[in-house]
């Protein structure tokens, strides 16, 4: 409760100040005060959160809840799912926090490498390359969203929801991914499948399963759709060798007690990659084939999530529908990238340390006319990345304000770490993001100073990007309600916390 209250206070103060502080110059060389310069960080509480606890979620526990509010006149329809971090399901796979952390960072590095390849590599236009199946039929993956990203191998599998697939509904854990535009599950007959928590979905047992024909509009959304025996085939692959292959189908998905019919999903018969028990992936990207895109008429292209903070017993939430959009959020315009429609880009003007704007050119964070650079919000990436020069200036400002804290050697992708084992709490500078149109988001300390072991080693949770792309990761998003209004083109921060 204390952490949530501190987070709320930081958000409220930051947003209030933002209403009177705007930046119009393209290059910031003058420091600007955002609000309080320091905050207190409870070290012992953070260390306690690293202790490996037995999973409290039963393999077949229902973690969906029904909170529909129907009012067509006021457009307040809302579907809500509980959102759980993978550590609640997989914590017993590791002997201690250090091993869990190292595995997390390896996934994260691969996730970022995949995003960079898709957005800046030779693939272009989202980086989805043409692939082909064993029968030689070529597919163009791009219009299915870009790559579906493997939870274990690429890092997208950090947060799970539980939904029903088919009629009658079969409950399945699904990875959520804001950078993907496809919904898919492993299906019987399974030529090649990885292990999952629940039984693999069997289309033969569902009364609502309908194959997608080659001439359907869903299949036409592929630039070069595959067709075999009259059925529309799909294949999504990525650089590390992970993939999902199968046929497209229309199926009923159930959220709590709400059944949504005729959702186009991929029925994967050959899948490679470890999704830590998940049956598949729930893409909530910005393209037409994502769940958000397909439910546009029912949800108004609106959804909201709150990613539960690490080490807590609470659950987060994922809500669909305009009724999920909160009153009192600080709204920031979304930035459209025609080369990567799946991703949610936002306008970031700069960053602050200790209540002072770090002198970094705003051009560093801008999306160019060619679709390069920019700032992407991503649920699958854990650690926020900035272009190297910007990161170094940001880091150096933080180091200057923490000179009194004992340093530790760098760990994994982090080069700025501290030995806080002897402290109960420490005073640390505030960290802020300055967004376009005025809002300033000031983070709670637990969102930028994270434990990497159980011995009191903490690291500054940011890293350099080898390209011009910046990524706002889920560690920095934790505990803050984040809402997307696709119809109006805005993303909101707050006012609620989780």
Place of tokens 């080898």: 466
Secondary structure of the chain in HEC code, one letter for each residue: CHHHHHHHHHHHHHHHHHCCCCCCCCECCCCCECCCCEEEEEHHHHHHCCCCCCCCCCCCCCCECCCCCCCCCCCCCCEEEEEEECHHHHHHHCCCHHHHHHHHHHHHHHHHHHHHHHHHCCCCCCCCCCEECCCCCEECCHHHCCCCCCHHHHCCCCEEEEEEECCCCEEEEEEEECCCCCEEEEECCCCECCCECCCCECHHHCCCCEECECCCHHHHCCCCCEEECCEEEEEEECCCCCEEEEEEEEEEEEECCEEEEEEEEEEEEEEECCCCECCEEEECCCCCCCHHHHCHHHHCCEEEEECCCCCCCCCEEEEECHHHCCCCCEEEEEECCCCCCCCEEECEEEEEECCEECCCEHHHHCECCCCCECEEECCCCCCEEEEHHHHHHHHHHHHHHCCCCCEECCECCECCEEECCCCCEEEEECEEEEECCCCEEEECHHHCEEECCCCCEEEECEEEECCCCEEECHHHHCCEEEEEECCCCEEEEEEEEC
Residue numbers annotated as active site: 177, 378
Q: How far is the C-alpha of 74 from the C-alpha of 78, rounded, in Å?
A: 12
Asked whether the beta carbons of 233 and 139 are under 8 A apart, the reply is: yes
User: What b/e sequence results for 302-314 when a residue is b if at least 16 CB atoms lie within 10 Å of its CB, and e otherwise?
Assistant: bbbbbbbbbbbee
Structure token digits, residue 483: 């809402």
Structure token digits, residue 384: 């926020």
Closest CA to 360 of 339, 314, 391, 332: 391
Dihedral of CA 12/8/441/319: which sign? negative
Q: How far is the C-alpha of 408 from the C-alpha of 403, rounded, in Å?
A: 12
């Amino acid at each position: 409760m204390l952490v949530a209250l501190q987070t709320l206070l930081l958000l409220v103060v930051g947003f209030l100040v933002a209403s009177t502080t705007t930046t119009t110059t393209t290059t910031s060389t003058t420091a600007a005060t955002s609000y309080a310069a320091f905050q207190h960080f409870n070290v012992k509480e953070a260390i306690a959160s690293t202790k490996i606890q037995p999973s409290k979620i039963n393999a077949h526990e229902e973690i969906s809840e029904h909170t529909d509010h129907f009012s067509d006149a006021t457009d307040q329809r809302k579907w809500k799912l509980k959102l759980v971090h993978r550590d609640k399901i997989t914590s017993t796979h590791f002997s201690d926090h250090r091993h869990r952390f190292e595995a997390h960072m390896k996934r994260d590095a691969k996730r970022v490498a995949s995003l960079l390849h898709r957005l800046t590599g030779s693939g272009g236009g989202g980086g989805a390359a043409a692939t082909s199946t064993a029968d030689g039929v070529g597919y163009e993956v791009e219009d299915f969203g870009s790559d579906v990203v493997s939870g274990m191998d690429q890092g997208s599998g950090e947060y799970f929801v539980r939904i029903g697939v088919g009629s009658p509904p079969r409950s399945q854990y699904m990875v959520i991914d804001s950078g993907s535009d496809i919904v898919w599950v492993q299906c019987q007959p399974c030529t090649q499948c990885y292990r999952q928590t629940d039984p693999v979905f069997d289309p033969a047992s569902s009364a609502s399963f309908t194959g997608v024909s080659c001439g359907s509009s869903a299949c036409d959304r592929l630039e070069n759709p595959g067709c075999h025996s009259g059925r529309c085939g799909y294949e999504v692959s990525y650089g590390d060798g992970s993939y999902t292959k199968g046929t497209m189908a229309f199926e009923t998905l159930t959220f709590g007690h709400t059944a949504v019919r005729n959702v186009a999903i991929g029925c994967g018969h050959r899948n490679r990659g470890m999704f830590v028990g998940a049956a598949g992936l729930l893409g909530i990207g910005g393209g037409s084939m994502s769940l958000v895109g397909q439910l546009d008429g029912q949800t108004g292209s609106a959804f909201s999530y709150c990613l539960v903070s690490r080490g807590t017993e609470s659950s987060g939430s994922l809500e669909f529908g305009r009724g999920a959009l909160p009153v009192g959020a600080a709204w920031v315009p979304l930035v459209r990238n025609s080369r990567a429609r799946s991703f949610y880009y936002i306008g970031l003007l700069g960053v602050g340390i200790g209540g002072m704007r770090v002198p970094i050119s705003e051009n560093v964070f801008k999306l160019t006319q060619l679709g390069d650079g920019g700032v992407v919000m991503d649920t699958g990436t854990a650690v926020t990345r900035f272009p190297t020069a910007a990161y170094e200036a940001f880091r150096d400002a933080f180091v200057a304000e923490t000179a009194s804290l004992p340093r530790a050697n760098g760990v994994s992708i982090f080069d700025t770490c501290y030995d806080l084992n002897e402290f109960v709490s420490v005073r640390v500078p505030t960290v802020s993001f300055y967004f376009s149109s005025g809002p300033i988001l000031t983070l709670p300390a637990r969102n930028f100073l994270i434990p990497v072991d159980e011995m009191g080693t903490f690291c500054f949770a940011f890293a350099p990007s080898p390209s011009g792309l910046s990524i706002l990761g889920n560690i920095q998003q934790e505990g803050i309600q984040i809402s997307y209004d696709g119809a109006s083109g805005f993303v909101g921060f707050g006012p609620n916390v989780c």
